Amino acid sequence: MVELKGAIALIGYGLAAIGPGIGIGLVVAAAISAMARQPEAAGMVRTTMFLGIAFTEALALIGFVLFFIA
């Protein structure tokens, strides 16, 4: 058997990053297509996009914290 070494918290953080990664991708994709359809609304869409990214990121950030306190 191969011996594995390292912190299991790293795997935990990797798992925690999957969902937010997909989520941020969806948010940005929707924002890009909205901006392409209506370039005049780009400013508003950009603000909302950052908000969406910030809320989606929250789970990855909790994973990041757990990585440190685990």
Partner 1 sequence: MEQLILAAGGCDPANDIICRPENVIELFQFEDNLFTIGPWGITRTVFLILLAMVIVVGLLFFGLRKKRMNPSKYGVTIESLMGFVRDDIATGIIGPEGVKYYPWLLSLFLFVLVGNLFEVTPLINFPITSRMAIAGSLSLLTWVIFVFVGFKKNGFGYVGALIWPTTVPIALRPLVGLIEFVSTFFLRPLTLAVRLFANMVAGHLMLTLLLVSGWVFMSSVGEIGVRALIGVPWFVFGLGIYVFEIVVAVLQAYIITLLSAVYVESSIHIEH
Where does this chain touch partner 1 (CB under 8 A) — which range of 4-12, 23-31, 33-41, 57-65? Answer: 57-65
Q: What character string, x for contact with partner 1 (CB under 8 A) and - otherwise, covers 3-42?
A: ----------------------------------------
Q: How far apart are CA 52 and CA 27, in angstroms?
A: 7
How many C-beta neighbours within 10 Å does residue 47 have? 10
Number of residues binding to partner 1, judged by CB under 8 A: 11
Q: Contacting partner 1 (CB under 8 A), which of 37, 61, 69, 70?
A: 61
Q: How far apart are CA 6 and CA 14, in angstroms?
A: 14
Q: Which two tokens mark 19?
A: 């969902």
